Structure 1
């Protein structure tokens, strides 16, 4: 009882959401560092090329160091400035998605998805995900008083996203298209899209992704192997089969860190897409539940941040970014345990990766910034100072949110309502953000 009261009291503190984001980010990154060390210590050793046992691990640690810098950047830059830069970021993202299809891009594994910069591969789709979330929220908030008309709700966010779909599928990259679709649906949902229209869009998205999944031979093979009653380890289901073997070997408490067999070449891509299988083998069912609980914590805290903020742009951004992280984790874990077809979506902050890790840490930095802009948190930081942590990181005090001025013909709608369908009067007060 005392523990429950203490926890409840701590959660009512003004900066509880901010501290929770920091804690969840730190623990997920730490789990990722440990698991990448275990996953790559065998595969990175190659005496023919001079690759040392810890070469991939040290590279991952360097990405974590850079990620800490971009996390601080997302936390340090004022929210208003991030919103003003959203349009520029979106233009840059579309240009990069187009440029990667030119000779500037690098081909690998039958796809042209990367730029090589200073010997490092960079995927523009990772930046495009964040840019779409920030820009889409900006457009929807700017048109709040028009969102009761479906054409204003859809344009220009949906057409621009469809252009991004086309550019990403030209690489081809189905997993990137799926995550862009999740972001689009999240933006419209948190902007308060009518339920019937959202259901129609969701059905259309499922149908579209089904067509895309069956439009190429290798993707069709993945789908067929997923629905196969008796998967053969020599077919397209090899990775999923080996992942299930690894999870089964882990049992309840696992075989211990560094004692797994999946990292000895039995499971290709173990440090990337299938790192959750190695985690289950070495840390067991308990370790898997712990990691799933961390992502559940991200879902709860992100939703809390979205609900507690007054700024509609922050509400949409926090909700959409939270949905993106949790959905990516669910998809990755889903295909590792055999519940979904393999798509190539990485496990956020845990899988080995360069651009994916950097953008995800920037995303968490922006989410932490949103937490500092909660009304109670902003008031506490202005009245009591930034505290030791804020002084150490040189974090500015958040600017209080002030609603934009509307004319008499454009009344401001409160935060707990949804937009009216076209043709109905809006004399009741509504904003449209779903909470």
Structure 2
């Protein structure tokens, strides 16, 4: 007893002291996970992703309008006597894009998925129509636009968003059905290649590159095996090289990138002037509206090379702000994709984010001289009405996906709408339910089967065993069934088995 009693007391004291240590460790781990900055605390709010998307879209659009006015004023005045011509067009399309943003924000996800395939088919039809002389408008060496009531519309920009939405819907449906690898690749890859082929015929290599980025993002985030994805990417890169070297102006751009000093006054003039504009800006820039390059020194300064004007007028600080906004958008888009419970929204948010960010950094890359000139515009900043409106529509869809995060849905249904949601009178988002989605797919399959049976009956046949049976086939089927019954009758002697 004298030995056992002292040995029990330290154990009890250890048990008493272990609980406070565990509580202290839990507090330390919780404090380590808790955000330490105000911005980190703000990111923990349920609607932080939604507000980030709206803020980024607003800032980039406002910056784009200001820079388009500054970069295009000289050229507009020289052409038509007014410095506000291109700016007015850009402002009109920004208002149209804001309306599309609002429509996308209010559209239910089920409606968006239901309309995805018809919209994709319609965009393919417009890509065919724009190639027909007399329907499509030819300008700048390509037939890429429709002229509607004095407004130019580029159908290839519409094809970007329809491919992204329909592709995400298709792959999300195949993922829930545990489809095979063939069902993942077909029909998405053939449809994407058809769209790319039609855009190449315009010709428009820059939009083809954007469509290729969208298709690659869909396949990657859709779960395509890495080996097959690498093979498809290698084939796409080889096709891009062939297309780049097939036309004279494309191959000249590659040669100018490989040897910038070979033709400084010819094909290398634009890239060289962009470099001079960036160098002239310095750290803080020459001041808003004080660019020298826009005085006919830098071609397309308001469009493809507007980032050079930003660097000249706003300096390194302005360029860093633009890059920072796109980097913040990349973080926000991936955050929305990771937080979404709906597979469709996961695929759509990640694909759209990859497309917009990749297009932005390709544009910035060739302006600063790190890549060959491709003609891709800087999203929401470069002049281009169709591109601006369609990109704002895509931002609206991403903002809609942000409101469908599980925490955002719970907050909105509990009355935490916020001033912005109340001002716009946005509807309450519906929570995603796998069982409900499965029931909807089963109901759609049942309706399709009933519709097919009615069509067969209208043609004069009936359905039997998954095949179309006509009256003569029905009689033959009845004779075969009676013959099998005769062959399967018991043996007359009562033996076990059946007569063969």
TM-score over 0.5 for the alignment?
yes
Moved over 6 A (4+): none
What corresponds to 2:51 in structure 1?
Answer: 19
Q: Are the counterparts in 2 of residues 386 and 396 from structure 1 also a CA contact under 8 Å?
A: no
The number of equivalent residue pairs is 406
Q: Secondary structure at the match of 2:348?
A: helix
Higher relative contact order (CA 8 A, sep 6+): 1
Matching residue of 1:97: 127
Contact preservation (8 Å) 1:76, 1:394: no
List aligned pairs for 1:88-237, cutoff 5 A: 88-103=118-133, 104-145=135-176, 149-237=180-268
For residue 143 of structure 2, give the secondary structure of its aligned residue in structure 1.
strand
Q: SS of the counterpart of 1:126? A: helix
Aligned 8 A contact 1:386 1:397 in 2: no
Query: What is the aligned partner in structure 2 of residue 71 from structure 1?
Result: 101
RMSD of aligned alpha carbons: 1.8
Please give the secondary structure, in 2, of the residue aligned with 1:143. helix
Asked if structure 2 preserves the Cα contact closer than 8 Å seen for 1:146 and 1:153, the reply is no
Q: Which has the higher helix share?
A: 2
C-alpha displacement at 1:176, in angstroms?
1.1
Corresponding residue SS for 1:112: strand
TM-score, length-normalised on structure 1?
Answer: 0.90
| Aligned mates of 1:315, 1:243 — CA distance in 2 | 38
Structure 2 residue aligned with 1:56: 86
Is 1:374 paired with 2:405? yes
Q: State how 1:172-321 maps to structure 2 within 5 Å.
A: 172-321=203-352
SS in 2 for 1:20: helix
Which of structures 1 and 2 has the bigger CA Rg?
2
Q: CA deviation at 1:398?
A: 0.2
Q: Match for residue 417 of structure 1?
A: none
Residue ranges of structure 1 left out of the alignment (5+ in a row): 411-435
Contact 2:90 2:385 in 1 (8 A): yes
Determine which of 383, 390, 395 is the counterpart of 2:414: 383
Q: Structure 2: which 5+ runs fail to align?
A: 1-31, 443-500
Find the aligned partners of 2:247 and 2:438 in 1 and give their Cα distance.
Answer: 51
TM-score relative to the length of structure 2: 0.79
Distance 2:420 2:193 in 1: 42
CA distance in 1, matches of 2:145, 2:37: 51
Q: How much does 1:232 deviate?
A: 3.0
Alpha-carbon distance, 1:285 to partner: 1.0
Equivalent residues of 1:10, 1:16 under 8 A apart: yes
Pairwise CA distance, 1:76 = 1.2
* 1:65 Cα deviation after fit: 1.3
Q: Which residue of 1 aligns with 2:429?
A: 398
Secondary structure of 1:343's counterpart equals coil
Q: Secondary structure at 2:384's aligned position in 1? A: coil
1:33-63 C-alpha deviation (Å, 9 max, x unpaired): 11111101111103xx643112221221122
